[in-house]
Amino acid sequence: MPRYDPYEKVTVELRAHLEAMSRCRDAACLVPDSHPFYLDQQGPARPCMPVVPTRLKPRGVMVLGFYPNTRYRNHQGDPFVPADEIDEPFEDTRYFDGYGVRRHESGALLEEAYLRPLGLRREDVYITNVVKCFLFDEQDVKTCVRHGFAGAGELRSTYERFPEVAAVCQRLWLRRELEIAEPELVICLGSEVFRVVHAKDGTPAAKPVMGQVAGKVLRAGERKEPWDTRDPNGPFFGLNVVHLYHPGALLREEPKGRFSEPHREHLEAVRSAMVELGLTPAVRASAPPTRRELDAFLTRLANEPQRRT
* Structural domains present in the chain: 55-137+163-306 (3.40.470.10)
Give the mean model confidence (pLDDT) for residues 111-120: 90
Q: What is the pLDDT of residue 92?
A: 64
CA distances from 44 to 59, 75, 133, 154 (A): 40, 15, 17, 12
Q: What is the pLDDT of residue 26?
A: 95
Q: What is the pLDDT of residue 122?
A: 87
pLDDT of 176 higher than 90: yes
Confidence band, pLDDT 50/70/90 cuts, at residue 304: very low
Distance (Å, whole) CA 73 – CA 79: 6
Q: What is the pLDDT of residue 257?
A: 46
Give the mean model confidence (pLDDT) for residues 280-296: 67
Contacts of 278 (CB under 8 A, 6+ apart): 184
Q: What is the pLDDT of residue 53?
A: 92
pLDDT tens profile 40-77: 777 788 899 999 998 899 999 999 999 998 888 888 88
- 85-94, 134-143, 194-203, 237-246, range with the lowest pLDDT: 85-94
Give the mean model confidence (pLDDT) for residues 241-260: 70
Q: What is the pLDDT of residue 22?
A: 92
Q: What is the pLDDT of residue 96?
A: 61
What's the predicted TM-score (pTM) here?
Answer: 0.87
Q: What is the pLDDT of residue 308?
A: 27
pLDDT of 4 higher than 50: no
Residue 163, number of CB atoms within 10 A of its CB = 14
Q: What is the pLDDT of residue 15?
A: 87
Give the mean model confidence (pLDDT) for residues 12-41: 91
pLDDT tens profile 86-103: 888 998 666 665 666 666
pLDDT of 183 higher than 90: yes
Q: What is the pLDDT of residue 84?
A: 84
Beta strand segments in 155-206, E:
185-189
- Give residue 256's Cα distance to chain centre: 26
pLDDT of 307 higher than 60: no
Distance (Å, whole) CA 287 – CA 89: 24
pLDDT of 9 higher than 70: no
Distance (Å, whole) CA 139 – CA 131: 19
Average pLDDT, the chain: 84
pLDDT of 79 higher than 60: yes
Instruction: State whether residue 81 is helix, strand or coil.
Output: strand
pLDDT of 277 higher than 80: yes
Q: What is the pLDDT of residue 193?
A: 97
In percent, the amount of the chain with pLDDT more than 70 equals 81
